[in-house]
Amino acid sequence: MAKIIKKSVRSRNLWMKTKRTEKSPPRQEKILLVDDDEIFREEFVECFSGYGFIQAADGNEAMKILKKPNEIDLVIMDVRMPGMDGLSLLEKINKISSGVGTIIVTGYSSKEVVLRALRGKADDYLEKPFDLEKARAVIEKVLNAKNGGYCNDAADTAGKIEHVKRFLSRNSSRKVSLKDAAEAVCLSPKYLSRIFQEHEGTGFNEYKLELKMTEAKNLLKQTAYNVDQISEKLGYQNTESFIRQFKKTAGQTPFGYRKKIRGNPR
């Protein structure tokens, strides 16, 4: 492994120190690694084999992955890529996946790039060439701070239900099916539907709708987004559907709700 890294990665000024510590137990968090250098991606994945990786060759490919229901806990992205660069990708991620950790990778020792990444709300950054131990520490720090869950066959029913609830919360702006959630906790959709109802006292779809409406109310209260923007952010295909559903659950239109909230400082 050391020879491979020295030959292929060091020549690109991406060499990682290969001093190894005792191998840590495998972790189940999922990391999306975004870099246009396929060899680098493969070697990075091998160096951090304890994690589950999904790879993307550029920002556009990464966005296609992130726009679907997913359990990605962390995105590690290179700054310089063809098409959408890492900082542009970071901005888009923050709009659709605020619960996902983000690490920017730069090989150009540019303080300005690092500052722009941190101002863009990246959780941390890595500089090439890497020190493996330091890079692992940064990755684990960000993952631990994000409180992500994972599919664990040994988890009890309560643990699996909590995982499903986190999964729904993380993907509240996407169209998530019962099948998507069931796959996240290694259960059949039918069984998940039954135990979710028993544990939560409400159905899966009802809980999912409640999450969306709670998020809608927060956006109406705390942001300047108009109703069209909120509808799009929550994954509705048209604003009319959103308004109709909001009125059915809240007893008033989004416009009326915002007017009432802003007219009452309490």
Are residues 188 and 98 part of one domain?
no
Are residues 171 and 134 part of one domain?
no
CATH of the domain at 184: 1.10.10.60
> Which residue type is seen at 1?
M
The stretch 28-53 carries a mean pLDDT of 88
Of 90, 123, 146, which marks where a domain is finished? 146
Are residues 131 and 183 part of one domain?
no
Are residues 117 and 9 part of one domain?
yes
Is 104 a domain residue?
yes
CA neighbor of 74 nearest in space, from 37, 47, 104 = 104
Are residues 207 and 134 part of one domain?
no
Are residues 131 and 35 part of one domain?
yes
pLDDT digits (tens, 9 = 90+) for 232-249: 888 888 999 999 999 999
Q: Pseudo-torsion of CA 55, 57, 59, 64, nearest 10°?
A: -60
- Give pTM, 2 decimals: 0.58
Q: Give the rounded percent of residues in the chain with a pLDDT score beyond 70.
A: 81
Are residues 134 and 96 part of one domain?
yes
CA neighbor of 161 nearest in space, from 132, 136, 191 = 191
Are residues 184 and 142 part of one domain?
no
Are residues 141 and 22 part of one domain?
yes
Are residues 108 and 48 part of one domain?
yes
pLDDT for residue 55: 95
CATH of the domain at 31: 3.40.50.2300
Are residues 244 and 194 part of one domain?
yes
Tokens representing 227 are: 């109703």
Are residues 14 and 119 part of one domain?
yes
CA neighbor of 127 nearest in space, from 147, 99, 144, 104 = 104
Question: What's the burial of 182, exposed, middle or buried (CB within 10 Å: 0-12/13-18/19+)?
Answer: buried
Number of structural domains the chain divides into: 2
Give the C-alpha separation, 94 to 116, whole Å: 14
pLDDT for residue 217: 94
Strand order in 101-106's β-sheet? Answer: 52-56, 30-34, 72-78, 101-106, 124-127
Of 146, 173, 194, which marks where a domain is finished? 146
Question: What's the burial of 171, exposed, middle or buried (CB within 10 Å: 0-12/13-18/19+)?
Answer: buried
Domain hosting residue 241, numbered range: 157-263
Is 152 a domain residue?
no
pLDDT digits (tens, 9 = 90+) for 99-142: 789 998 887 556 677 777 777 678 888 888 878 888 888 888 88
Of 86, 119, 146, which marks where a domain is finished? 146
